[in-house]
């Protein structure tokens, strides 16, 4: 956690991002959670911690952090955009019922036949997502 903050400071600086309390708070919140929150959820948590923070700032901060490679979007198939501060390749499980997003450690990268990517295309990242029904929903459906 501490080291991630340090790395954050450095990466942010490299990307030309000023280190504001808002940005630090958003990033800290994101690495402290495993539920892959969207802008609204981050706002709900942070408005108690950072006085006067606005939803707009959350959105803008997430966009900046994404551009700087400090956070990634999670492909949920749903309307709302969710974010993840784990930027190393890993997988996600998305519940089609409640929308919860879980981390998975499926290592798909090593098995991937990247030879199938057509010439002229440049792959920057890959994402494996499984969709289904999560434990919570499975048990409450009974």
Partner DNA sequence: GTGGGTGCAAAGACTTTGCAAGACG
Partner DNA sequence: CGTCTTGCAAAGTCTTTGCACCCAC
Q: Which positions touch DNA (CB under 7 A)? A: 13, 16-23, 38-40, 50, 52-57, 59-61, 63-64, 79-81
The distance of closest approach from Cβ of residue 16 to DNA in the complex, given in angstroms and rounded to an integer, is 7
- Number of alpha carbons in the 13 Å side-chain half-sphere of residue 102: 14
142 binds, among DNA, its own copies, none (CB under 5 to 8 A by kind): none
Contact pattern for its own copies over residues 22 through 61, marking x by CB under 8 A? ----------------------------------------
Examine residue 106 and tell whether it contacts its own copies (CB under 8 A): yes
105 binds, among its own copies, DNA, none (CB under 5 to 8 A by kind): its own copies
Number of residues that bind its own copies (CB under 8 A): 40
The distance of closest approach from Cβ of residue 115 to DNA in the complex, given in angstroms and rounded to an integer, is 33
In the numeric block, which tokens belong to residue 28?
A: 């800290």
What is each CA distance from 56 to 25, 47, 64, in whole angstroms?
14, 12, 12
In this structure, what DSSP letter does residue 118 have? Answer: P
Examine residue 98 and tell whether it contacts its own copies (CB under 8 A): no
What is each CA distance from 136 to 83, 99, 100, 106, 110, in whole angstroms?
21, 11, 10, 21, 31
Backbone phi and psi for residue 74, each to the nearest 5 degrees, phi listed first: -105, 125
Distance, in Å, from the CA atom of 19 to the CA atom of 16, rounded to the nearest integer, reads 9
The distance of closest approach from Cβ of residue 139 to DNA in the complex, given in angstroms and rounded to an integer, is 25
Examine residue 129 and tell whether it contacts its own copies (CB under 8 A): yes
Residue 99: which residues within 8 A CB-CB, separation 6 or more? Answer: 76, 78, 80
Which residues are near its own copies by CB under 8 A? 73, 75-77, 79, 81, 93, 96, 102, 104-108, 111-114, 116-135, 138-139
């Amino acid at each position: 956690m501490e080291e991630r903050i340090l790395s954050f400071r450095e990466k942010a600086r490299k990307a030309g991002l000023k280190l504001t309390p808002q940005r630090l708070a958003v990033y800290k919140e994101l690495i402290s959670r495993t539920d892959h929150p969207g802008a609204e959820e981050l706002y709900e948590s942070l408005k108690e911690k950072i006085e006067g923070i606005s939803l707009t700032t959350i959105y803008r901060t997430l966009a900046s952090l994404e551009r700087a490679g400090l956070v990634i979007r999670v492909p949920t198939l749903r309307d709302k955009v969710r974010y993840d501060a784990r930027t190393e390749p890993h997988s996600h499980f998305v519940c089609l019922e409640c929308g919860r997003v879980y981390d998975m450690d499926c290592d798909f990268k090593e098995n991937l036949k990247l030879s199938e990517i057509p010439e002229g295309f440049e792959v920057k990242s890959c994402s494996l997502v499984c969709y289904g029904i999560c434990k919570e929903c499975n048990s409450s459906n009974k």
